[in-house]
C-alpha cells in the first residue's frame, strides 16, 4: 500500500504480521539513533494525533523501554517492552505491550535498517501473539477515525447548548 506522495508501504505477509517499510534519505547510524535515543524519539514518534510525553530507554538486551503518549482530547497511552536484540546500526528487536491493550499477548517488534548509497530502508515487522490481535490493530485507525467523525457530526447536529444559553 503506497500513497501518492509518501513512500510508506504497509503489507500483511502472514496472518499475525504487519510490515511497514519506508526509505529515509539518511545513513543507517542516524536512523538507528532516531529509533533509540529518547531526545530524538520524542521529536518524531507517534501515530496521527499522538506524541510522546515521556520516553525511557534502557538500551541493552533485557533492558526495558517505556513510552507515554498524549493523544486526541487529552488521551493517555502507555506502551512498554524489553529489548531482545540490539545490533547498531542494522537491527533492533523488542517486545511491546500496551497498558490497556484489548488483545492478548506481547507483540514482537523488529526493525531492520538497510543502508544503500547513504539512504536507509527501515522495515518494521510487528508480529502479534494472535491473528485476532493483528486484525484489531489494523482496524484501530479507521475505527477511531469513524468515532471522531461521529463526534464531529454530533457536534454539528447539536449546535452547542451553551450558545442557546447565551441568547438573551
Partner 1 sequence: MGTELLDATFAALADPTRRAILARLAAGEATVTELAAPFAMSQPAISKHLKVLERAGLVSRGRDAQRRPCRLEARPLREATAWLADYRDYWAESYQRLDALLDELQAVEQTDAERQGAQVDGASG
138 binds partner 1 (CB under 8 A): yes
Choosing from 34, 55, 59, 82, the residue that interacts with partner 1 (CB under 8 A) is 34
CA angle 78, 80, 81 (to 5 degrees): 165
Examine residue 25 and tell whether it contacts partner 1 (CB under 8 A).
yes
Q: Is residue 147 near partner 1 by the rule CB under 8 A?
A: no
Q: Euclidean distance between the first and final Cα of the chain, in Å?
A: 55
Residue 17: phi and psi, rounded to 5, are: -115, 150
CA dihedral 10, 72, 101, 126 (to 10 degrees): 20
Binding status of residue 28 toward partner 1 by CB under 8 A: no
CB atoms within 10 A of CB 127: 17
How many binding residues for partner 1 (CB under 8 A)?
Answer: 40
- Contact (Cβ atoms closer than 8 angstroms) between residue 68 and residue 51: no
With contacts defined by CB under 8 A, name the span among 20-28, 58-66, 88-96, 108-116 that binds partner 1: 20-28
Nearer to partner 1 by Cβ, of 25 and 100: the residue is 25
What's 130's DSSP letter? Answer: S
40 is a site residue for partner 1 (CB under 8 A): yes
Output the smallest distance, CB 87 to partner 1, in A.
Answer: 20
Phi then psi for residue 88, to 5 deg, are -65, 140
Q: Which positions touch partner 1 (CB under 8 A)?
A: 1, 3, 6, 8-15, 18, 20, 22, 24-27, 30-31, 33-34, 40, 43-48, 131-132, 134-135, 137-142, 145
Amino acid at each position: 500500500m503506497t500513497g501518492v506522495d509518501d513512500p510508506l508501504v504497509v503489507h500483511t505477509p502472514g496472518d499475525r504480521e504487519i510490515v511497514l517499510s519506508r526509505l529515509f534519505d539518511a545513513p543507517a547510524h542516524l536512523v538507528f539513533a532516531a529509533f533509540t535515543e529518547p531526545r530524538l524519539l520524542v521529536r518524531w514518534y507517534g501515530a496521527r494525533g499522538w506524541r510522546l510525553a515521556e520516553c525511557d530507554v534502557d538500551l541493552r538486551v533485557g533492558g526495558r523501554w517505556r513510552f507515554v503518549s498524549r493523544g486526541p482530547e487529552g488521551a493517555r497511552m502507555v506502551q512498554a517492552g524489553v529489548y531482545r536484540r540490539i545490533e547498531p546500526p542494522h537491527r533492533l528487536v523488542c517486545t511491546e505491550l500496551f497498558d490497556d491493550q484489548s488483545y492478548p499477548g506481547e507483540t514482537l517488534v523488529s526493525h531492520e535498517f538497510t543502508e544503500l548509497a547513504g539512504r536507509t530502508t527501515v522495515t518494521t515487522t510487528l508480529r502479534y501473539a494472535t491473528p485476532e490481535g493483528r486484525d484489531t490493530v489494523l482496524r484501530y485507525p479507521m475505527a477511531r477515525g469513524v468515532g471522531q467523525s461521529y463526534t464531529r457530526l454530533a457536534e454539528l447536529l447539536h449546535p452547542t447548548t451553551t450558545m442557546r444559553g447565551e441568547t438573551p
